[in-house]
Copies of this chain bind each other. A is one copy, B any other.
């Protein structure tokens, strides 16, 4: 006879559903539909979602009461009563913060991710004062937009952080400390603060603000000082055990290659990141490299032979790494974020050719981020939206 189990037991997350669960699910669905398809009427929401018009009415009533959406203009139809279009509440806004090794930007955006105002943060010489400068810049923006009501602050940064934990735990390419930035901003502004890796954030952003409906599998590759990837799979971000999933950039590509910031040798990012591109230029031309990678891209665009060659070499390595990603995850789409996309017509085909080289299965679609240089900023907005209503 078995002894009584009486398990001591706790689930990490609540797994059981209550009778409030459908409302949560449908509420998120409806809000997302309004967000992506605004302006849209209740009747169309019903058609699109598969829910009844009556149900939609109740859910929308909630969303309006909580000031997420507004009744907007009225439409015209050949027959029948005119629909009232719903739209996101323009009064509500989000602070987006893009922390980048070479430049940090802060912005105000609306719930739809549209950038209302944007400033580059002048960082002081003393890196310890960086966080204070950022907070000052945020507070200035909030003060300048007193007509808005702010919902939160989104931070996208090059590094990994366990979503539970406060501080980033892996940021080899950032030269100033961001420890406790999250709680400091929260204390100063009183707003909810969401922080995540740039590539993760960009993946969310593509899903939230992109036009591909129901995208389920997508990998974003952020090519900057290093290379980070954000994996969106089964309709969710793949975070891994400590939030460390997506470090394709630190997969060994060259045996006994260059020493990487992570301590290993020959990582993909040592041969395919912006730094690698600059190094190739130096090696090939014998001249000093341009001040930054954007300048190198400009050089290539003006047909500088060495610049083109250097970026082609970088593109080849990029493509080879993308082939790894395609084999490993078979996403339907790979999106590139970074300065290299500024010259996509020159190097996109090179990257894609290498990606498709000898591929044993259908290669994923490859495209640059639809956002260009604001991709990282908008991604920070997605972080807040994702927590607020998803």
Contact in complex: B17, A22 (CB < 8 Å)? yes
From B48, B262, B330, A360 is in contact (CB under 8 Å) with B262
**Stretch of A115-123, A237-245, A301-309, A380-388 on the interface side:** A237-245
In the complex, what distance in Å separates the CA atom of A264 from the CA atom of B357? 9
Copies in the complex: 2
Chain A 292-310 near chain B by CB (<8 Å), digits 1 or 0: 0000000000000000000
Contact in complex: A240, B264 (CB < 8 Å)? no
Chain A 5-57 interface residues, beta-carbon cutoff 8 Å to B: 5-7, 9, 11-12, 14-19, 21-22, 25-26, 29, 37, 39-41, 44, 47-51
Contact in complex: B330, A77 (CB < 8 Å)? no
User: Interface size on A (CB < 8 Å)?
Assistant: 83
Chain A 350-384 interface residues, beta-carbon cutoff 8 Å to B: 358, 360-362, 364
Q: Is A332 an interface residue (CB 8 A)?
A: yes
In the complex, what distance in Å separates the CA atom of A25 from the CA atom of B302? 59
From B241, B264, B361, B362, A217 is in contact (CB under 8 Å) with B241
Chain A 234-288 interface residues, beta-carbon cutoff 8 Å to B: 234, 236, 238-248, 250-252, 262-265
Chain A 317-333 interface residues, beta-carbon cutoff 8 Å to B: 320, 323-325, 327-332
Name the residue of chain B whose CB is nearest to the CB of A51.
Answer: B16
Q: Which residues of A contact B (CB under 8 A)?
A: 1-7, 9, 11-12, 14-19, 21-22, 25-26, 29, 37, 39-41, 44, 47-51, 73-77, 83, 85, 160, 169-170, 172, 213-214, 216-217, 231, 233-234, 236, 238-248, 250-252, 262-265, 320, 323-325, 327-332, 358, 360-362, 364
